[in-house]
Amino acid sequence: MRNGVRHLLGAGAGLLATPLIAAGLLYFASGRALAAWIAVAALGASMVVVGVLSGSRISPIGSLVPGLVLAVVAGLAYVPGVRVAGLLPAEYAEPYARLAGTWALPLACVLLAASVFPARWRGATRPEPSAEPEDEAVPEPPPLPKRIPSRY
């Protein structure tokens, strides 16, 4: 797969994963789950998505996009003088504050750190075609002797 296609698919995966991660974290932090195990399953699913984005052969853009979004969410919560609650509808102000105060900053650091490694930005190396033709006949080894002399 070419690098451009790989990065395009990684960007799509990052855009798709960003709301999934946020929804799983908000569901865990809301406390309104039907059962505690459902909330833990939502957190586990979010962590699996983070792990796939940060440790696989998906383009690093896949982990860069949600990492930047979560970093902005966490950063705006800690900047003095910035009131995000006025920019959001009233029903989103409390979940935003909960997300920004709990999981956003650690997950942003994990996802951004996974995007830093230069080896993830390089594509897989393709074998170069050899200049020599492969049809050359390989010389056959000499035949073995019919009988091996023994000392005994």
pLDDT of residue 130: 66
pLDDT of residue 110: 92
Is-above-0.75 flag for pTM?
A: no
Q: What is the dihedral of CA 10, 15, 21, 24, to 10 degrees?
A: -130
* pLDDT > 70 in the chain, percent: 84
> Could you tell me where the DSSP H helices lie in the chain?
3-30, 36-55, 61-78, 90-101, 104-114, 118-121
Number of structural domains (the chain) is: 1
Query: Is 151 inside any structural domain?
Result: no
Model confidence band, residue 131 (pLDDT cutoffs 50, 70, 90): low
Query: Is 55 inside any structural domain?
Result: yes
Query: Is 32 inside any structural domain?
Result: yes
Query: Is 127 inside any structural domain?
Result: no
* pLDDT > 90 in the chain, percent: 16
Note the pLDDT tens digit of each residue in 21-65. 888 888 877 666 567 788 888 888 999 999 998 886 788 899 999
Domain coverage including residue 68: 3-121
* Of residues 17, 42, 39, the one with CA closest to residue 110: 17
Query: Is 12 inside any structural domain?
Result: yes
Tokens 């908000």 found at? 26
- pLDDT at residue 109 tops 80: yes
Query: Is 96 inside any structural domain?
Result: yes
pLDDT of residue 111: 92
Query: Is 144 inside any structural domain?
Result: no
- pLDDT at residue 112 tops 80: yes
Q: What is the mean pLDDT of residues 6-18?
A: 89
Q: Which two tokens stand for residue 118?
A: 């230069």
Residue 89 has phi, psi (to 5 degrees) of -60, 155
- pLDDT at residue 102 tops 70: yes
Q: What is the mean pLDDT of residues 127-132?
A: 67
Note the pLDDT tens digit of each residue in 66-85. 999 999 888 888 888 777 76
pLDDT of residue 65: 93
Q: How far apart are the first and last CA of the chain?
A: 63
Query: Is 150 inside any structural domain?
Result: no
